[in-house]
Protein backbone atom coordinates (compact mmCIF):
# COMPACT_ATOMS: atom_id res chain seq x y z
CA UNK A 1 0.00 0.00 0.00
CA UNK A 2 2.73 2.52 0.96
CA UNK A 3 6.17 3.00 -0.60
CA UNK A 4 9.31 2.26 1.41
CA UNK A 5 10.01 5.98 1.71
CA UNK A 6 6.54 6.62 3.15
CA UNK A 7 7.02 3.79 5.65
CA UNK A 8 10.48 5.09 6.56
CA UNK A 9 9.18 8.60 7.26
CA UNK A 10 6.22 7.14 9.16
CA UNK A 11 8.39 4.85 11.30
CA UNK A 12 11.19 7.38 11.81
CA UNK A 13 9.60 10.78 11.37
CA UNK A 14 12.07 13.66 11.05
CA UNK A 15 11.61 16.96 12.91
CA UNK A 16 8.88 15.80 15.30
CA UNK A 17 8.04 17.94 18.25
CA UNK A 18 6.92 21.18 19.76
CA UNK A 19 8.97 24.40 19.37
CA UNK A 20 9.17 27.11 22.02
CA UNK A 21 9.16 30.71 20.72
CA UNK A 22 8.56 29.72 17.12
CA UNK A 23 8.60 32.59 14.60
CA UNK A 24 5.66 31.11 12.73
CA UNK A 25 3.07 28.46 13.67
CA UNK A 26 0.46 26.98 11.36
CA UNK A 27 -2.22 24.40 12.04
CA UNK A 28 -4.56 22.91 9.45
CA UNK A 29 -7.15 20.14 9.32
CA UNK A 30 -9.55 19.12 12.05
CA UNK A 31 -10.35 16.22 14.33
CA UNK A 32 -13.62 15.44 12.56
CA UNK A 33 -11.76 14.54 9.38
CA UNK A 34 -9.08 12.67 11.24
CA UNK A 35 -6.09 14.83 10.23
CA UNK A 36 -4.44 17.74 12.02
CA UNK A 37 -1.01 19.10 11.15
CA UNK A 38 0.84 21.71 13.13
CA UNK A 39 4.07 23.23 11.81
CA UNK A 40 6.52 25.40 13.78
CA UNK A 41 9.15 27.53 12.02
CA UNK A 42 12.34 29.16 13.28
CA UNK A 43 13.26 31.81 10.75
CA UNK A 44 16.49 33.80 10.65
CA UNK A 45 17.50 36.13 7.85
CA UNK A 46 14.65 34.86 5.63
CA UNK A 47 16.03 31.33 6.01
CA UNK A 48 14.13 28.49 7.69
CA UNK A 49 16.70 27.52 10.28
CA UNK A 50 14.57 24.94 12.01
CA UNK A 51 11.19 23.33 11.59
CA UNK A 52 9.13 21.01 13.78
CA UNK A 53 5.83 19.31 13.30
CA UNK A 54 3.08 17.60 15.29
CA UNK A 55 0.49 15.53 13.47
CA UNK A 56 -2.68 13.67 14.37
CA UNK A 57 -3.55 11.38 11.51
CA UNK A 58 -2.86 8.27 9.53
CA UNK A 59 0.51 6.91 8.44
CA UNK A 60 0.67 8.97 5.27
CA UNK A 61 -0.24 12.15 7.16
CA UNK A 62 2.73 11.62 9.49
CA UNK A 63 5.03 10.71 6.57
CA UNK A 64 3.86 13.74 4.53
CA UNK A 65 4.55 16.07 7.47
CA UNK A 66 7.97 14.57 8.00
CA UNK A 67 8.92 14.82 4.31
CA UNK A 68 7.55 18.35 3.94
CA UNK A 69 9.60 19.57 6.90
CA UNK A 70 12.72 17.95 5.42
CA UNK A 71 12.06 19.67 2.08
CA UNK A 72 11.93 23.18 3.56
CA UNK A 73 14.57 22.93 6.28
CA UNK A 74 17.44 25.28 5.49
CA UNK A 75 15.57 26.77 2.54
CA UNK A 76 14.62 30.40 2.01
CA UNK A 77 11.07 31.62 2.65
CA UNK A 78 10.59 32.07 -1.10
CA UNK A 79 11.56 28.46 -1.71
CA UNK A 80 9.37 27.17 1.14
CA UNK A 81 6.29 28.97 -0.09
CA UNK A 82 6.78 27.32 -3.46
CA UNK A 83 6.60 23.81 -1.95
CA UNK A 84 3.71 21.99 -3.59
CA UNK A 85 1.91 18.86 -2.51
CA UNK A 86 3.14 17.27 -5.74
CA UNK A 87 6.73 17.77 -4.62
CA UNK A 88 5.90 16.06 -1.31
CA UNK A 89 4.30 13.13 -3.16
CA UNK A 90 7.27 12.84 -5.52
CA UNK A 91 9.75 12.87 -2.67
CA UNK A 92 7.74 10.13 -0.95
CA UNK A 93 7.82 8.01 -4.10
CA UNK A 94 4.06 8.30 -4.47
CA UNK A 95 0.92 8.14 -2.30
CA UNK A 96 -2.22 6.09 -2.84
CA UNK A 97 -4.95 8.26 -4.47
CA UNK A 98 -7.08 8.31 -1.29
CA UNK A 99 -4.08 9.69 0.64
CA UNK A 100 -3.19 12.57 -1.68
CA UNK A 101 -5.02 14.97 0.65
CA UNK A 102 -2.32 14.30 3.28
CA UNK A 103 0.26 15.93 1.03
CA UNK A 104 -2.11 18.85 0.40
CA UNK A 105 -2.45 19.31 4.16
CA UNK A 106 1.34 19.37 4.52
CA UNK A 107 1.62 22.10 1.86
CA UNK A 108 -1.16 24.12 3.51
CA UNK A 109 0.33 23.71 7.00
CA UNK A 110 3.63 25.18 5.82
CA UNK A 111 1.90 28.06 4.03
CA UNK A 112 -0.13 28.66 7.17
CA UNK A 113 3.01 28.84 9.32
CA UNK A 114 4.66 31.21 6.83
CA UNK A 115 1.52 33.36 6.85
CA UNK A 116 1.67 33.51 10.64
CA UNK A 117 5.31 34.63 10.42
CA UNK A 118 4.39 37.32 7.89
CA UNK A 119 1.57 38.57 10.13
CA UNK A 120 3.81 38.73 13.19
CA UNK A 121 6.62 40.53 11.39
CA UNK A 122 4.46 42.75 9.18
CA UNK A 123 6.01 41.31 6.08
CA UNK A 124 4.49 40.38 2.76
CA UNK A 125 5.42 37.01 1.37
CA UNK A 126 5.19 36.64 -2.37
CA UNK A 127 2.83 33.78 -3.15
CA UNK A 128 0.72 34.18 0.01
CA UNK A 129 -1.26 37.26 -1.12
CA UNK A 130 -4.45 35.27 -1.47
CA UNK A 131 -3.79 32.82 1.35
CA UNK A 132 -6.36 32.81 4.12
CA UNK A 133 -5.63 30.44 7.02
CA UNK A 134 -9.33 30.60 7.97
CA UNK A 135 -10.06 28.65 4.78
CA UNK A 136 -7.70 25.96 5.93
CA UNK A 137 -9.32 25.42 9.32
CA UNK A 138 -11.89 23.11 7.80
CA UNK A 139 -9.44 21.57 5.42
CA UNK A 140 -8.89 17.83 5.42
CA UNK A 141 -12.13 15.98 4.65
CA UNK A 142 -11.44 15.00 1.08
CA UNK B 1 10.73 -11.82 13.39
CA UNK B 2 8.06 -11.89 16.04
CA UNK B 3 5.36 -14.49 16.28
CA UNK B 4 2.40 -13.53 14.08
CA UNK B 5 -0.71 -12.73 16.09
CA UNK B 6 -3.94 -12.75 14.12
CA UNK B 7 -6.43 -10.69 16.13
CA UNK B 8 -8.96 -9.94 13.41
CA UNK B 9 -11.21 -12.99 13.77
CA UNK B 10 -14.34 -10.89 13.28
CA UNK B 11 -13.10 -10.17 9.75
CA UNK B 12 -12.59 -13.84 9.04
CA UNK B 13 -11.17 -16.94 10.71
CA UNK B 14 -8.56 -19.51 9.82
CA UNK B 15 -10.20 -22.56 8.28
CA UNK B 16 -9.95 -25.44 10.76
CA UNK B 17 -7.86 -28.47 9.75
CA UNK B 18 -10.79 -30.85 10.27
CA UNK B 19 -12.85 -28.62 7.97
CA UNK B 20 -10.24 -28.76 5.20
CA UNK B 21 -10.08 -32.56 5.59
CA UNK B 22 -13.85 -32.78 5.33
CA UNK B 23 -13.93 -30.63 2.19
CA UNK B 24 -11.15 -32.40 0.29
CA UNK B 25 -12.99 -35.41 -1.09
CA UNK B 26 -15.74 -33.32 -2.65
CA UNK B 27 -13.30 -31.92 -5.19
CA UNK B 28 -12.11 -35.05 -6.98
CA UNK B 29 -13.67 -38.07 -5.32
CA UNK B 30 -17.28 -37.20 -4.52
CA UNK B 31 -17.61 -34.63 -7.27
CA UNK B 32 -21.09 -35.54 -8.52
CA UNK B 33 -23.82 -32.98 -9.00
CA UNK B 34 -26.23 -33.35 -6.07
CA UNK B 35 -29.15 -32.99 -8.47
CA UNK B 36 -28.03 -36.17 -10.29
CA UNK B 37 -29.84 -38.66 -8.10
CA UNK B 38 -29.74 -41.65 -10.44
CA UNK B 39 -26.12 -42.55 -9.70
CA UNK B 40 -24.11 -42.90 -6.55
CA UNK B 41 -21.75 -39.93 -7.05
CA UNK B 42 -24.70 -37.56 -7.17
CA UNK B 43 -26.44 -39.19 -4.23
CA UNK B 44 -23.24 -38.92 -2.11
CA UNK B 45 -23.05 -35.21 -2.80
CA UNK B 46 -26.66 -34.78 -1.80
CA UNK B 47 -26.01 -36.72 1.42
CA UNK B 48 -23.14 -34.39 2.29
CA UNK B 49 -25.40 -31.37 1.87
CA UNK B 50 -28.16 -32.84 4.00
CA UNK B 51 -25.68 -33.84 6.73
CA UNK B 52 -24.40 -30.25 6.87
CA UNK B 53 -27.94 -28.90 6.83
CA UNK B 54 -28.71 -30.97 9.91
CA UNK B 55 -25.60 -29.68 11.72
CA UNK B 56 -26.60 -26.07 11.07
CA UNK B 57 -30.25 -26.72 11.99
CA UNK B 58 -29.35 -28.48 15.25
CA UNK B 59 -26.96 -25.71 16.26
CA UNK B 60 -29.74 -23.09 16.20
CA UNK B 61 -32.61 -25.41 17.19
CA UNK B 62 -34.30 -25.28 13.81
CA UNK B 63 -35.75 -27.96 11.56
CA UNK B 64 -33.53 -29.12 8.67
CA UNK B 65 -36.20 -28.03 6.20
CA UNK B 66 -35.86 -24.48 7.48
CA UNK B 67 -32.17 -24.11 6.50
CA UNK B 68 -31.23 -22.79 3.05
CA UNK B 69 -27.62 -22.49 1.93
CA UNK B 70 -26.52 -19.21 0.36
CA UNK B 71 -23.22 -17.69 -0.75
CA UNK B 72 -22.71 -16.01 2.63
CA UNK B 73 -23.93 -13.53 5.19
CA UNK B 74 -24.44 -10.63 2.79
CA UNK B 75 -26.56 -12.76 0.47
CA UNK B 76 -28.66 -14.02 3.37
CA UNK B 77 -29.24 -10.45 4.58
CA UNK B 78 -30.18 -9.32 1.06
CA UNK B 79 -32.55 -12.23 0.63
CA UNK B 80 -34.23 -11.80 4.02
CA UNK B 81 -34.95 -8.13 3.55
CA UNK B 82 -35.78 -7.96 -0.16
CA UNK B 83 -37.59 -11.30 -0.07
CA UNK B 84 -39.86 -10.28 2.81
CA UNK B 85 -40.40 -6.75 1.51
CA UNK B 86 -41.52 -7.81 -1.97
CA UNK B 87 -43.57 -10.79 -0.78
CA UNK B 88 -45.44 -8.71 1.82
CA UNK B 89 -45.83 -5.36 0.11
CA UNK B 90 -49.61 -5.81 0.01
CA UNK B 91 -49.50 -5.71 3.84
CA UNK B 92 -47.28 -2.69 4.22
CA UNK B 93 -44.12 -0.85 3.25
CA UNK B 94 -42.40 -0.20 6.58
CA UNK B 95 -39.21 -1.80 7.85
CA UNK B 96 -37.58 -1.27 11.24
CA UNK B 97 -33.85 -1.80 11.65
CA UNK B 98 -31.01 -0.16 13.60
CA UNK B 99 -28.29 2.38 12.95
CA UNK B 100 -25.57 -0.16 13.71
CA UNK B 101 -26.41 -2.91 11.24
CA UNK B 102 -23.90 -4.31 8.77
CA UNK B 103 -23.97 -2.56 5.41
CA UNK B 104 -25.53 -5.69 3.89
CA UNK B 105 -28.67 -4.72 5.83
CA UNK B 106 -28.38 -0.91 5.70
CA UNK B 107 -27.68 -0.67 1.97
CA UNK B 108 -30.42 -3.19 1.19
CA UNK B 109 -32.93 -1.05 3.11
CA UNK B 110 -31.70 2.05 1.24
CA UNK B 111 -32.18 0.18 -2.04
CA UNK B 112 -35.75 -0.72 -1.09
CA UNK B 113 -36.52 2.93 -0.38
CA UNK B 114 -36.33 3.43 -4.17
CA UNK B 115 -39.32 1.09 -4.45
CA UNK B 116 -41.46 2.98 -1.96
CA UNK B 117 -40.45 1.17 1.21
CA UNK B 118 -39.76 3.23 4.32
CA UNK B 119 -37.18 2.42 6.97
CA UNK B 120 -36.91 3.42 10.61
CA UNK B 121 -33.36 3.21 11.91
CA UNK B 122 -33.40 2.66 15.68
CA UNK B 123 -30.91 4.50 17.85
CA UNK B 124 -28.54 2.76 20.23
CA UNK B 125 -27.21 3.86 23.61
CA UNK B 126 -23.54 4.43 24.47
CA UNK B 127 -23.05 0.66 24.71
CA UNK B 128 -24.68 -0.04 21.36
CA UNK B 129 -27.92 -1.44 22.84
CA UNK B 130 -31.26 -0.65 21.24
CA UNK B 131 -34.15 0.62 23.37
CA UNK B 132 -37.13 -1.75 23.38
CA UNK B 133 -39.56 1.11 24.07
CA UNK B 134 -38.30 2.94 20.98
CA UNK B 135 -38.80 -0.26 19.00
CA UNK B 136 -42.41 -0.59 20.22
CA UNK B 137 -43.13 3.05 19.45
CA UNK B 138 -41.71 2.68 15.94
CA UNK B 139 -44.15 -0.07 14.99
CA UNK B 140 -46.85 1.08 12.56
CA UNK B 141 -49.82 -0.78 11.08
CA UNK B 142 -47.80 -1.06 7.85
CA UNK B 143 -44.63 -2.48 9.49
CA UNK B 144 -43.79 -5.77 7.78
CA UNK B 145 -40.27 -6.49 8.99
CA UNK B 146 -38.02 -5.93 12.00
CA UNK B 147 -34.32 -6.60 11.33
CA UNK B 148 -31.96 -6.31 14.30
CA UNK B 149 -28.50 -7.86 14.36
CA UNK B 150 -27.84 -10.50 17.02
CA UNK B 151 -24.39 -9.16 17.90
CA UNK B 152 -22.46 -6.29 16.42
CA UNK B 153 -19.38 -7.02 14.33
CA UNK B 154 -17.45 -3.92 15.41
CA UNK B 155 -18.19 -3.45 19.10
CA UNK B 156 -19.52 -6.92 19.95
CA UNK B 157 -22.68 -5.73 21.71
CA UNK B 158 -25.34 -8.45 21.99
CA UNK B 159 -28.95 -7.29 21.55
CA UNK B 160 -31.93 -8.53 23.62
CA UNK B 161 -32.99 -10.82 20.79
CA UNK B 162 -35.58 -12.82 22.71
CA UNK B 163 -37.46 -9.70 23.81
CA UNK B 164 -37.30 -8.26 20.29
CA UNK B 165 -38.67 -11.56 18.99
CA UNK B 166 -41.53 -11.41 21.49
CA UNK B 167 -42.44 -7.88 20.46
CA UNK B 168 -42.39 -8.82 16.77
CA UNK B 169 -44.51 -11.89 17.45
CA UNK B 170 -47.11 -9.93 19.46
CA UNK B 171 -47.54 -7.58 16.53
CA UNK B 172 -47.46 -10.25 13.83
CA UNK B 173 -44.33 -8.75 12.24
CA UNK B 174 -41.61 -10.88 10.65
CA UNK B 175 -38.36 -10.78 12.66
CA UNK B 176 -34.99 -11.15 10.92
CA UNK B 177 -31.66 -11.17 12.73
CA UNK B 178 -28.20 -10.96 11.20
CA UNK B 179 -26.38 -13.53 13.33
CA UNK B 180 -23.23 -13.66 11.20
CA UNK B 181 -21.03 -12.44 14.02
CA UNK B 182 -22.99 -14.14 16.80
CA UNK B 183 -22.71 -17.70 15.47
CA UNK B 184 -20.48 -19.73 17.73
CA UNK B 185 -20.18 -16.97 20.34
CA UNK B 186 -23.74 -16.78 21.66
CA UNK B 187 -26.40 -19.46 22.13
CA UNK B 188 -28.89 -19.22 19.30
CA UNK B 189 -32.30 -20.87 19.70
CA UNK B 190 -34.65 -19.71 16.97
CA UNK B 191 -37.71 -21.15 18.73
CA UNK B 192 -37.05 -19.72 22.18
CA UNK B 193 -35.95 -16.39 20.71
CA UNK B 194 -38.94 -16.15 18.31
CA UNK B 195 -36.75 -15.67 15.25
CA UNK B 196 -38.36 -15.93 11.80
CA UNK B 197 -35.28 -15.36 9.63
CA UNK B 198 -31.62 -15.61 10.54
CA UNK B 199 -28.44 -15.03 8.51
CA UNK B 200 -25.19 -16.89 9.19
CA UNK B 201 -21.85 -17.34 7.44
CA UNK B 202 -19.28 -20.16 7.55
CA UNK B 203 -16.04 -18.21 7.46
CA UNK B 204 -16.62 -16.57 10.84
CA UNK B 205 -16.54 -19.94 12.60
CA UNK B 206 -13.58 -21.72 11.02
CA UNK B 207 -15.37 -22.63 7.80
CA UNK B 208 -14.62 -21.65 4.20
CA UNK B 209 -15.47 -18.29 2.61
CA UNK B 210 -18.30 -17.99 0.11
CA UNK B 211 -20.86 -20.08 1.96
CA UNK B 212 -23.59 -19.11 4.39
CA UNK B 213 -27.12 -20.01 5.27
CA UNK B 214 -30.48 -18.58 6.03
CA UNK B 215 -32.97 -19.98 8.46
CA UNK B 216 -36.50 -19.39 7.24
CA UNK B 217 -39.15 -20.38 9.74
CA UNK B 218 -41.81 -22.61 8.21
CA UNK B 219 -44.72 -20.48 6.99
CA UNK B 220 -42.84 -17.18 6.64
CA UNK B 221 -43.83 -15.44 3.44
CA UNK B 222 -40.69 -14.65 1.46
CA UNK B 223 -39.88 -14.44 -2.26
CA UNK B 224 -37.46 -16.90 -3.83
CA UNK B 225 -34.01 -15.33 -4.22
CA UNK B 226 -32.30 -16.93 -7.19
CA UNK B 227 -34.55 -18.19 -9.95
CA UNK B 228 -33.44 -21.27 -11.81
CA UNK B 229 -33.35 -24.95 -10.96
CA UNK B 230 -34.95 -26.65 -8.01
CA UNK B 231 -31.99 -26.46 -5.63
CA UNK B 232 -32.69 -25.44 -2.03
CA UNK B 233 -36.36 -26.29 -2.48
CA UNK B 234 -36.57 -23.93 -5.43
CA UNK B 235 -35.89 -20.86 -3.30
CA UNK B 236 -32.21 -20.42 -4.07
CA UNK B 237 -31.27 -21.97 -7.42
CA UNK B 238 -27.80 -22.91 -8.61
CA UNK B 239 -25.67 -26.03 -8.30
CA UNK B 240 -24.65 -26.25 -4.67
CA UNK B 241 -21.04 -25.64 -3.59
CA UNK B 242 -20.93 -29.09 -2.07
CA UNK B 243 -17.38 -28.85 -0.69
CA UNK B 244 -18.18 -25.50 0.94
CA UNK B 245 -21.42 -26.77 2.42
CA UNK B 246 -19.64 -29.85 3.79
CA UNK B 247 -16.97 -27.58 5.29
CA UNK B 248 -19.60 -25.32 6.82
CA UNK B 249 -21.29 -28.35 8.38
CA UNK B 250 -18.02 -29.54 9.89
CA UNK B 251 -17.18 -26.07 11.24
CA UNK B 252 -20.59 -25.86 12.92
CA UNK B 253 -20.22 -29.37 14.33
CA UNK B 254 -16.91 -28.35 15.96
CA UNK B 255 -18.31 -25.04 17.21
CA UNK B 256 -21.23 -26.86 18.81
CA UNK B 257 -19.03 -29.51 20.41
CA UNK B 258 -16.59 -27.06 22.03
CA UNK B 259 -19.05 -24.23 22.66
CA UNK B 260 -18.68 -23.67 26.42
CA UNK B 261 -14.99 -24.47 26.70
CA UNK B 262 -14.17 -22.27 23.70
CA UNK B 263 -16.18 -19.27 24.88
CA UNK B 264 -15.10 -19.51 28.52
CA UNK B 265 -11.51 -19.36 27.32
CA UNK B 266 -12.20 -16.38 25.03
CA UNK B 267 -13.94 -14.50 27.85
CA UNK B 268 -10.91 -15.08 30.06
CA UNK B 269 -8.62 -13.64 27.36
CA UNK B 270 -11.03 -10.79 26.65
CA UNK B 271 -11.16 -9.79 30.32
CA UNK B 272 -7.37 -9.90 30.56
CA UNK B 273 -6.96 -7.72 27.48
CA UNK B 274 -9.59 -5.18 28.55
CA UNK B 275 -8.14 -4.91 32.06
CA UNK B 276 -4.58 -4.77 30.70
CA UNK B 277 -5.32 -1.90 28.35
CA UNK B 278 -7.28 0.05 30.97
CA UNK B 279 -4.48 -0.37 33.53
CA UNK B 280 -1.60 0.52 31.21
CA UNK B 281 -2.87 3.15 28.78
CA UNK B 282 -4.47 6.45 29.86
CA UNK B 283 -7.32 8.18 28.01
CA UNK B 284 -8.97 5.14 26.47
CA UNK B 285 -12.67 4.44 25.95
CA UNK B 286 -14.06 0.90 25.80
CA UNK B 287 -16.47 0.70 22.87
CA UNK B 288 -19.45 -1.61 23.25
CA UNK B 289 -21.03 -3.09 26.34
CA UNK B 290 -18.74 -3.85 29.33
CA UNK B 291 -20.08 -7.42 29.77
CA UNK B 292 -22.90 -8.05 27.31
CA UNK B 293 -20.51 -8.48 24.40
CA UNK B 294 -19.16 -11.23 22.15
CA UNK B 295 -16.56 -13.37 23.95
CA UNK B 296 -13.84 -12.55 21.41
CA UNK B 297 -14.39 -8.80 21.01
CA UNK B 298 -12.24 -6.01 22.49
CA UNK B 299 -12.72 -2.55 21.00
CA UNK B 300 -11.13 0.57 22.49
CA UNK B 301 -10.69 4.14 21.31
CA UNK B 302 -7.33 5.72 22.08
CA UNK B 303 -7.73 9.46 22.33
CA UNK B 304 -5.49 11.91 20.42
CA UNK B 305 -4.27 9.30 17.91
CA UNK B 306 -5.57 7.82 14.68
CA UNK B 307 -6.36 4.17 14.01
CA UNK B 308 -4.56 3.56 10.73
CA UNK B 309 -1.26 4.70 12.19
CA UNK B 310 -1.78 2.28 15.09
CA UNK B 311 -2.55 -0.60 12.70
CA UNK B 312 0.63 0.05 10.68
CA UNK B 313 2.75 -0.04 13.81
CA UNK B 314 0.94 -3.16 15.07
CA UNK B 315 1.62 -4.85 11.74
CA UNK B 316 5.34 -4.17 12.21
CA UNK B 317 5.09 -6.18 15.43
CA UNK B 318 3.25 -8.96 13.63
CA UNK B 319 -0.17 -8.12 15.06
CA UNK B 320 -3.22 -7.99 12.75
CA UNK B 321 -6.22 -5.95 13.97
CA UNK B 322 -8.75 -3.52 12.51
CA UNK B 323 -9.97 0.04 13.05
CA UNK B 324 -13.13 2.09 12.69
CA UNK B 325 -11.11 5.05 11.45
CA UNK B 326 -12.15 6.68 8.16
CA UNK B 327 -8.58 6.27 6.90
CA UNK B 328 -8.96 2.50 6.84
CA UNK B 329 -12.37 2.42 5.21
CA UNK B 330 -11.74 4.73 2.26
CA UNK B 331 -14.74 6.82 3.33
CA UNK B 332 -14.82 10.30 4.81
CA UNK B 333 -16.44 9.33 8.06
CA UNK B 334 -15.35 6.93 10.75
CA UNK B 335 -17.46 3.86 11.56
CA UNK B 336 -21.23 4.42 11.52
CA UNK B 337 -21.47 2.07 14.50
CA UNK B 338 -19.12 4.12 16.69
CA UNK B 339 -20.84 7.38 15.70
CA UNK B 340 -24.23 5.82 16.55
CA UNK B 341 -22.99 5.09 20.09
CA UNK B 342 -22.41 8.83 20.46
CA UNK B 343 -18.64 8.83 20.06
CA UNK B 344 -17.23 12.07 18.63
CA UNK B 345 -15.40 11.83 15.30
CA UNK B 346 -11.95 12.27 16.81
CA UNK B 347 -12.39 9.46 19.32
CA UNK B 348 -13.95 7.23 16.65
CA UNK B 349 -10.91 7.75 14.39
CA UNK B 350 -8.74 6.32 17.17
CA UNK B 351 -10.55 3.00 17.57
CA UNK B 352 -8.91 -0.41 17.36
CA UNK B 353 -10.75 -3.73 17.38
CA UNK B 354 -9.03 -6.91 18.52
CA UNK B 355 -11.02 -10.10 17.95
CA UNK B 356 -9.51 -13.16 19.63
CA UNK B 357 -9.34 -16.85 18.85
CA UNK B 358 -8.42 -19.95 20.84
CA UNK B 359 -4.97 -19.92 19.23
CA UNK B 360 -4.11 -16.87 21.32
CA UNK B 361 -2.45 -17.41 24.71
CA UNK B 362 -2.39 -15.33 27.87
CA UNK B 363 1.27 -14.49 27.15
CA UNK B 364 0.17 -13.17 23.75
CA UNK B 365 -2.27 -10.86 25.53
CA UNK B 366 0.57 -9.50 27.68
CA UNK B 367 2.56 -8.85 24.50
CA UNK B 368 -0.39 -7.05 22.87
CA UNK B 369 -0.90 -4.81 25.92
CA UNK B 370 2.80 -3.89 26.10
CA UNK B 371 2.98 -3.30 22.33
CA UNK B 372 -0.13 -1.10 22.42
CA UNK B 373 1.23 0.88 25.38
CA UNK B 374 4.41 1.66 23.44
CA UNK B 375 2.59 2.47 20.16
CA UNK B 376 0.03 4.78 21.74
CA UNK B 377 2.67 6.62 23.73
CA UNK B 378 4.81 7.08 20.60
CA UNK B 379 1.93 8.37 18.46
CA UNK B 380 0.78 10.70 21.22
CA UNK B 381 4.25 12.25 21.24
CA UNK B 382 3.78 13.06 17.56
CA UNK B 383 0.18 14.29 18.01
CA UNK B 384 -0.60 18.00 18.60
CA UNK B 385 -3.75 17.10 20.56
CA UNK B 386 -4.08 17.25 24.34
CA UNK B 387 -0.99 19.48 24.79
Residues B278 and B150 in one domain: no
Neighbouring-strand partners of residue B145: B95, B174
Whose CA is closest to A24, among A49, A42, A12, A8?
A42
pLDDT tens digits, B215-244: 999 999 999 999 999 999 999 999 999 999
What is the value of ipTM here, to two decimals?
0.94
Regarding whether B311 and B205 lie in a shared domain, the answer is no
pLDDT band at B325 (very low <50, low <70, confident <90, very high): confident
Domain count, chain A: 1
Which structural domain range is residue B35 located in? Answer: 17-257
- Chain A neighbors of B334, CB-CB under 8 A: 34
Examine the domain organization and report whether B290 and B318 are in the same domain. Answer: yes
Task: Give mean pLDDT in consecutive 10-residue pieces for chain A, a chain of 142 residues.
Answer: 96 97 96 93 97 97 98 97 97 95 96 96 90 65 58
pLDDT at res. B330: 63
In this structure, are residues B273 and B161 in contact, taking their beta carbons and an 8 Å threshold?
A: no
- Asked about B109 being catalytic, the answer comes back as no
What is the spatial distance between Cα A116 and Cα B218, in angstroms, rounded to a whole number? 71
Q: To the nearest whole angstrom, how far is the Cα of A37 from the nearest Cα of chain B?
A: 8
Provide the shortest C-alpha distance from residue A18 to chain B (in Å).
8
Establish, for the pair of chains A and B, how many residue pairs have beta carbons separated by less than 8 Å: 68
Q: Which residues of B touch A58 (CB under 8 A)?
A: 306-309, 325, 327
Do both B263 and B216 map to the same domain?
no
Closest by CA to B294, choosing from B355, B345, B238, B248, is B355
d(CA B294, CA B154): 10
HEC letters along chain A? CCCHHHHHHHHCCCCECCCCCCCEEEEEEECCCCEEEEEEEEEECCEEEEEEEEEECCHHHHHHHHHHHHHHCCCEHHHHHCCCHHHHHHHCCCCCHHHHHHHHHHHHHHHHHHHHHHHHHCCCCCCCCCCCHHHHHCCCCC
The per-residue pLDDT for range B258-271, each reduced to its tens digit, is 999 999 999 999 99
> Any CB–CB contact under 8 A between A40 and chain B?
no
The neighbouring-strand residues paired with B351 are B301
pLDDT tens-digit map of B259-311 = 999 999 999 999 999 999 999 999 999 999 999 999 999 999 999 999 999 99
Q: Are residues B182 and B323 in the same domain?
A: no
B214 shares a domain with B280: no
pLDDT score at B315: 96
Q: Is residue A98 part of a domain?
A: yes
Amino acid sequence: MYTETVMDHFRNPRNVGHMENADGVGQVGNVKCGDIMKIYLKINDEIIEDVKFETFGCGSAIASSSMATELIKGKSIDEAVELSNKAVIEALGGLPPVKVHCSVLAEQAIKSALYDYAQKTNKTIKGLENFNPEDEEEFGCH
Amino acid sequence: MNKKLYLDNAATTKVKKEVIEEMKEYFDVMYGNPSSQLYELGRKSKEAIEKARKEVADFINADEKEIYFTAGGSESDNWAIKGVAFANKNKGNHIITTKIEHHAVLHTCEYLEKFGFETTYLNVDQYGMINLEELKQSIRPETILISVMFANNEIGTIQPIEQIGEIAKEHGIIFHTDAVQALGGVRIDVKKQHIDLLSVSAHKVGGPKGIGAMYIKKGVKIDNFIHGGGQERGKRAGTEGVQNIAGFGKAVELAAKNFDEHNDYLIKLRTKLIEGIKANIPDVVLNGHPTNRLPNNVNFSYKYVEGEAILLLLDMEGIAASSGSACTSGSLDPSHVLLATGLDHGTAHGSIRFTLSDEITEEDIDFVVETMRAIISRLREISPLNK
